[in-house]
Structure 1
Amino acid sequence: MKGYFRNSDFDIFNIDGLDERMSAIREQIQPVFQHIGDAYIADVNAYTEFEGSFHIAQHRRRTTNAPESTWSAIGGNKRGYKKYPHIQIGINEKHIFMFLSLIDNPKHEITMGEYLLKRRSLWDNLNDDYFVSGDHTKPDIQSAEEDTVEKTLKRLINVKKGEFMVGRVLIPSSDELNDDSKQKEFFEDTLNGLLPMYKELLDLYQKEEMK
């Protein structure tokens, strides 16, 4: 069974046709997602004390256009993950990523965004190789510098389509794509870097749910 990503996995985004690309995603990418999810879901749940689930995007709503990215998620419940903060692992034509994600107007997004703005210590000391995104449908990312994170959080709060994703990426030339042990270390290190922020958001989310 395939365990980790390879440089050749980026080639799936050159495949034309919804059915053809989805076939390649199911064969090449989803087994990697499953491997990573199986490896970390129990540890994430133990750390957060939240019984999160693991999900793999199936893109069932698509009828014509092939997906420009595909992803999986640690978090949420068995019914879904997008209304919750979650850890997303995915790939698009430019990079493989592991991001803490607030996307598609999750519940309590304004409260969570305002909390992160106040709790700057959770993100203002991130390493130089962390990136931030304000739109999960596009591969564009920016270095997670303090002003960029702040701007993205403010957009999450004030703009209906605003989103917030932060984490690390592997590009096609990354050494980790040729070395399973290095790739395993990359995902573990990234997850460890995101977990404190993730746990605090989950705690806040559950507190809001109890009101």
Structure 2
Amino acid sequence: MNFNGFTQADFDVFRIDGLDERMTALKALIRPKLEFLGDHFAGELSVLAGNEMFPHVAKHARRTVNPPNDTWVAFADNKRGYKKHPHFQIGLWESHLFIWYAVIDEAPNKAVIGSFLEKKIPYLRKNIPSEFLWSDDHRKPEATKMKDLSDEQLLHLFQRLQSVKKSEILCGVHLPREKAIQLNGPDLVTFIYDAFVKLIPLYKLS
């Protein structure tokens, strides 16, 4: 397919009422673009990460009543799934496009990752841009800029990853929908690639 970026209509999918209606629009409008990005960035991320990465487009198969408020393609070094592994995501909420490095609640080794990251805060300050965002819940659209988090708050984030069953960490970029729809396909691919390059140090730590 020719990837021309995302449009107003793509973001407006999340305003459609009803599970079936929203999923029909999501599959028609957004999923082909996520599949394109999955195929494209699996190769790019494999080179950056130094091991083979596989794309996983969200299917939302478990949903029976509530329509999804976001959707994504994830990349992990496991062909069967991504949720138990440190991974990357590209996706949409109604309000923005997101690019994440993520360790979510299903990852069995997240305590080890949290323990390692808490010792690496100075490294993270040096290697992750201060404008990048951190979140502790992939189910919520909100996130906080790194420059607005103290070392103590980052430490709390990493310690929570070790001790709280449902804890998560995500780090990356939000692109507001108004800016996202202004970028053509090649420019958006470049923007996403640049974000992944900056997130690779965090991935390699884990």
The question of a shared fold, defined as TM-score above 0.5 by the shorter chain, is answered with: yes
Matches for 1:10-25 after TM superposition, within 5 Å: 10-25=11-26
Are the counterparts in 2 of residues 82 and 103 from structure 1 also a CA contact under 8 Å?
yes
- Amino acid across the alignment from 2:118: L
Residue of structure 2 equivalent to 1:72: 73
Matches for 1:1-211 after TM superposition, within 5 Å: 1=1, 3=3, 4-125=5-126, 126-145=128-147, 146-147=149-150, 148-174=153-179, 176-180=180-184, 181-201=186-206
- The offset of 1:69, in angstroms, is 1.1
- Amino acid across the alignment from 2:141: P
Question: Structure 1, residues 178-199: CA drift from partner, whole Å, max 9, x if none?
Answer: 2224322210110100112212
- The offset of 1:104, in angstroms, is 2.1
- Amino acid across the alignment from 1:187: I
Provide the identity percentage: 35
Are the counterparts in 2 of residues 2 and 31 from structure 1 also a CA contact under 8 Å?
no
Question: Structure 1, residues 124-154: CA drift from partner, whole Å, max 9, x if none?
Answer: 1332431111111111111123424333222
* CA shift in 2, pair 1:7/1:151, >3 Å: farther
| Structure 1 residue matching 2:48: 3-state secondary structure | helix
- Amino acid across the alignment from 1:149: L
* CA shift in 2, pair 1:160/1:187, >3 Å: same
Tell me the distance in 2 between the aligned counterparts of 1:30 and 1:122. Answer: 36
Residue of structure 2 equivalent to 1:209: none
CA-atom RMSD in angstroms: 1.7
Which stretches of structure 1, 4 residues or longer, exceed 4 Å deviation after superposition?
Answer: none
- Amino acid across the alignment from 1:177: I
- Amino acid across the alignment from 1:141: A
Q: Which runs of 5 or more structure 1 residues have no equivalent in the other structure?
A: 202-211
| Structure 2 residue matching 1:123: 3-state secondary structure | helix
- The offset of 1:2, in angstroms, is 5.3
- Amino acid across the alignment from 1:153: F
* CA shift in 2, pair 1:7/1:152, >3 Å: farther
Tell me the distance in 1 between the aligned counterparts of 2:30 and 2:48. Answer: 27
Paired residues in the alignment total 200
Are the counterparts in 2 of residues 132 and 167 from structure 1 also a CA contact under 8 Å?
yes
Question: Structure 1, residues 26-83: CA drift from partner, whole Å, max 9, x if none?
Answer: 1111112112122221121123232221100101111111011111101141211110
Q: TM-score, normalised by structure 2?
A: 0.89
Q: Which runs of 5 or more structure 2 residues have no equivalent in the other structure?
A: none
Tell me the distance in 2 between the aligned counterparts of 1:127 and 1:177. Answer: 24
- Amino acid across the alignment from 1:36: L
Are the counterparts in 2 of residues 91 and 97 from structure 1 also a CA contact under 8 Å?
yes
Q: TM-score, normalised by structure 1?
A: 0.87
Which range moves more in the overlay, 78-87 or 23-32? 23-32
